[in-house]
């Protein structure tokens, strides 16, 4: 796999039993890239290991006053220099390729899992943790995959050098062969503590990221209630905890680095002292001593890869564990292979809600949270991972969870009460998978987006002032809440699904605009199944059927006017009556003023306003 070939056509099925197993799975998935990196690493390290031999040969040639041998040593050094340059360049290239491709694979896995779970993901894993996994944790995981092949090359080179020194000069080679494993393993007793401190640092950094993400998402609300300073103090404390944890972790790694410097120094001093004694006694040549000393010195370079792989594993293991927590989440297995959902009514067996096919059904619920949960269930986004979970919503008599995910998503679209607008032009915003039967212009008109188009035209940098080519900022922050809500509604209308679920689609607009939006939606969606969660009489009066949801069950159904007249619980929700306020019929059959309070709107007023 090359970088130019990304993204993967299929990132694969990861091993999510544990963080280490996930890292091993990633390494196995890039075996070709790992072998390439290993090969270039061996060339690089072995060429470096050959330098002492060439230097020792040159020194001995000078001592023996042999010009021929000196020329051969110079040529050998030139060849080794070229091999070192080529090996180092290609090692870096292949190792970074392994890093980037591993990170890309993890990001694709996370994106696929996010698309699969939908809104259920943030109920089970904090949004900030998902952000942390897809950014910083992906980098750490890629680092380990990259360092793995370089470590394997360094370890192989160390073994080859030790064997070569033992064969070349047993008197000193044995000392190097015994000391090298000691140097490589000296840090192992320190690794558990360093790993714990690294885990603590990652945990605190993840919490700080979650806090920052939540603060940024709610910044508008925080400014409205004056809560910026409170959350700023919380983030400041969290960031200081991250700093303290990072310092403690760095101290431990500094100790490990010091050990990696001190022990090799002891080995080199011992080697020089013993080698000088042997040279003084005439048991070895000066050139041989220089060769072994140079080889031992250059062995410190591949030994650094031992420290690096230890650090990479310590940092990537908790990152991999966090990734596994997300990737191990799953939905109910679907056995159906249908390419389209069967037409028919929408029925929720838990609440008893029935939305007849082709009709506009409004749902009134006094509890907004309960309404939101039901909206997610209607879209197939509720959790269905265990046997105790409630049964799935039925579409045409078929459970949504029995349909392939793509079919279910194409058949039912849920627009929640706080929809998100992605950055880009208005044309790009409305360029969504759709039936093609609803042009963007008709959807914008039905959602009453005329003032939004005018504002975008004025903000356009193009002299033509085409609002469709005007860029919308991230999450539509340059627009008002009502404008964002109407643009999101237009996007949903363009999609034109068989079943459209709207959760408070007009909560952020005034009553005049609300009446026009409700009429536009009812007109454009005629013949399609539409379910709207609302308590506004303007919208309810246009619905073909209104359902009252109370304490998790349907308790009444009919038209808006029938329920307003006959159902006190419905009237209490729609007109905001208290239990002590009795609605007294007036001469027109509407609702009179009670205790100085007037209901939101009478049925006749609704008809006039609509």
- Tens-digit pLDDT profile for residues 30-50: 888 899 999 999 898 888 878
pLDDT tens for each residue of 133-186: 877 788 889 889 888 888 988 888 888 888 888 888 888 888 888 888 888 788
**pLDDT of 533 strictly over 90:** yes
CATH classification number, 346-609, choose in 3.40.47.10, 3.40.50.300, 3.40.190.10, 3.90.550.10: 3.40.50.300
Give the list of residues 6+ apart from residue 135 with CB closer than 8 angstroms, or none.
none
Q: Report how far residue 203's alpha carbon sits from residue 191's, in angstroms, rounded to the nearest whole number.
A: 18
The verdict on whether omega for the bond into residue 7 sits within 30 degrees of 0, i.e. cis, is yes
Considering only residues 120 and 171, tell me which one the structure prediction assigns the higher pLDDT. Answer: 171
Cα(336)–Cα(347) distance, integer angstroms: 19
- What is the per-residue pLDDT for 287? 74
Q: Which of 56-60, 294-298, 374-378 holds the top average pLDDT?
A: 374-378
Sorted by where each begins, the domain ranges of the chain are: 15-327, 346-609
What is the share, in percent, of the chain residues with pLDDT greater than 70?
86
Nearest-5° Cα angle at 33, 31 to 37: 115
Angle made by CA atoms 502, 108, 40, in degrees to the nearest 5: 170
Q: Which CATH superfamily is domain 15-327 in?
A: ABC transporter type 1, transmembrane domain (1.20.1560.10)
Separation CA 581–CA 572 (nearest Å): 9
State the average pLDDT for the chain. 81
Alpha carbon 277 to chain centroid, angstroms: 62
Average pLDDT over residues 562-566: 91
DSSP category for residue 2? -
User: What is the average pLDDT across 442-467?
Assistant: 81
412 beta partners: 499
Question: For 212-269, what is each residue's pLDDT tens digit?
Answer: 766 666 666 666 666 667 777 888 888 888 899 889 888 888 888 888 788 888 888 8
- pLDDT for 53 equals 78
Looking at residue 119, its pLDDT comes to: 66
Q: Are 73 and 57 in contact (CB under 8 A)?
A: yes
In sequence order, what E strands does 517-593 have?
529-533, 545-550, 553-558
Which of 112-121, 183-192, 294-303, 483-492 shows the highest mean pLDDT? 483-492
Residues 341-364: what's their mean pLDDT?
Answer: 90
pLDDT at 561 over 60: yes
Q: How high is the pLDDT of residue 585?
A: 47
Alpha-carbon distance of 390 to 377, in angstroms, equals 10
How many residues in total does the chain contain?
610
* Gap between the Cα atoms of 45 and 32, Å rounded: 20
Q: CA-to-CA distance for 391 and 393, rounded, in angstroms?
A: 7
The percent of residues in the chain predicted with pLDDT above 90, rounded, is 18
The pLDDT of residue 389 is 63
pLDDT at residue number 366: 83
- In this prediction, residue 580 carries a pLDDT of 52
Q: What is the pLDDT of residue 556?
A: 92
Query: How crowded is residue 295: how many other Cβ atoms within 10 Å of its Cβ?
Result: 27
Distance in angstroms between the alpha carbons of the first and the last residue of the chain: 61
Averaged pLDDT, 557-573: 91
Q: Is 428 helix (H, G, I), strand (E, B) or coil?
A: helix
Q: What's the confidence (pLDDT) of residue 588?
A: 39
| pLDDT higher than threshold 90 for residue 379 | no
Task: Please determine, for residue 596, whether its predicted confidence score (pLDDT) is greater than 80.
Answer: no
- Tokens standing for residue 201: 């640092």
Confidence category of residue 89, pLDDT binned at 50, 70, 90? very high
Can you give the three-state secondary structure of 461-528, one letter per residue?
A: CCCCCCHHHCEECHHHCCCCHHHHHHHHHHHHHHHCCCEEEEECCCCCCCHHHHHHHHHHHHHHCCCC
Three-state DSSP class for residue 398: strand
**What band does 278 get if pLDDT is binned at 50, 70 and 90?**
confident
Q: Is the pLDDT of residue 2 over 80?
A: no
Give yes or no for a contact between 292 and 271, defined as CB atoms under 8 angstroms apart: yes
| 293 has pLDDT over 60 | yes
State pLDDT tens for residues 471-528: 887 767 778 888 889 999 999 999 999 999 999 888 888 888 889 999 999 999 999 9
pLDDT at res. 586: 45
What's the pLDDT at 262? Answer: 86
Give the pLDDT score at 171.
Answer: 83
């Amino acid at each position: 796999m090359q970088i130019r070939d990304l993204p993967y056509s299929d990132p694969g099925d990861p091993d999510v039993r544990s963080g280490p197993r996930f890292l091993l799975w990633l390494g196995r998935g890039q075996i070709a890239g790992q072998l390439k990196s290993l090969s270039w690493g061996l060339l690089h390290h072995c060429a470096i290991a050959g330098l002492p031999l060439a230097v020792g040969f040159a020194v001995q040639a000078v001592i023996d006053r042999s010009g021929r041998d000196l020329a051969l040593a110079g040529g050998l050094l030139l060849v080794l220099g070229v091999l070192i340059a080529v090996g180092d360049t290609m090692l870096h290239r292949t190792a970074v390729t392994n890093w980037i491709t591993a990170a890309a694979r993890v990001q694709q896995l996370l994106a696929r899992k996010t698309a699969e779970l939908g809104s259920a993901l943030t109920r089970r894993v904090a949004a900030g943790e998902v952000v942390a996994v897809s950014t910083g944790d992906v980098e750490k995981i890629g680092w380990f995959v990259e360092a793995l092949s370089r470590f394997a090359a360094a370890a192989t080179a160390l073994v080859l050098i030790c064997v070569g020194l033992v064969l070349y000069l047993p008197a000193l080679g044995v000392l190097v062969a015994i000391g090298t494993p000691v140097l490589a393993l000296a840090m192992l007793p320190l690794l558990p503590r360093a790993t714990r401190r690294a885990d603590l640092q990652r945990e605190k950094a993840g919490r700080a990221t979650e806090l920052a993400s939540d603060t940024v998402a709610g910044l508008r609300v925080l400014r409205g209630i004056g809560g910026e300073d409170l959350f700023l103090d919380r983030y400041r404390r969290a960031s200081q905890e991250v700093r303290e944890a990072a310092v403690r972790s760095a101290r431990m790694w500094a100790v490990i680095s010091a050990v990696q410097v001190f022990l090799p120094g002891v080995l080199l001093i011992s080697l020089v002292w013993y080698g000088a004694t042997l040279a003084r006694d005439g048991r070895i040549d000066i050139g041989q001593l220089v060769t072994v000393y140079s080889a031992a010195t250059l062995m410190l370079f591949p030994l650094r890869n031992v420290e690096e792989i230890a650090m990479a594993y310590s940092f990537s293991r908790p990152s991999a564990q966090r990734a596994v927590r997300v990737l191990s989440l799953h939905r109910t297995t679907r056995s159906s292979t249908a390419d389209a959902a069967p037409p028919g009514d929408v029925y929720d067996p838990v609440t008893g809600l029935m939305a007849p096919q082709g009709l506009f059904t409004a749902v009134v619920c006094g509890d907004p949270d309960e309404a939101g949960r039901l909206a997610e269930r209607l879209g197939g986004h509720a959790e269905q991972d265990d046997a105790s979970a409630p049964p799935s919503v039925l579409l045409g008599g078929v459970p949504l969870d029995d349909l392939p995910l793509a079919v279910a998503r194409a058949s039912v679209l849920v627009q929640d009460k706080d929809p998100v607008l992605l950055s880009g032009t208005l044309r790009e915003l409305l360029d969504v998978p759709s039936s093609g039967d609803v042009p963007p212009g008709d959807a914008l008109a039905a959602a009453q987006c005329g003032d939004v188009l005018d504002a975008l035209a004025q903000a356009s940098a193009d002299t033509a002032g085409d609002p469709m080519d005007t860029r919308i900022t991230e999450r539509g922050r340059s627009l008002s809440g009502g404008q964002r809500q109407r643009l999101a509604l237009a996007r949903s209308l363009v999609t034109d699904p068989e079943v459209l679920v709207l959760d408070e689609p007009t909560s952020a607009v005034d009553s005049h605009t609300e009446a026009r939006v409700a009429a536009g939606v009812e007109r454009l969606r005629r013949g399609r199944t539409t379910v709207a969660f609302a308590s506004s009489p303007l919208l309810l009066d246009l619905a073909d059927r209104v359902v009252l949801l109370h304490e998790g069950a349907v308790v009444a159904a009919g038209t808006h006017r029938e329920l307003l007249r006959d159902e006190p619980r419905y009237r209490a929700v729609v007109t905001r009556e208290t239990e002590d306020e009795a609605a007294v019929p007036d001469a027109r059959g509407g609702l009179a003023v009670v205790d100085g309070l007037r209901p939101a709107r009478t049925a006749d007023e609704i008809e006039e306003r609509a």
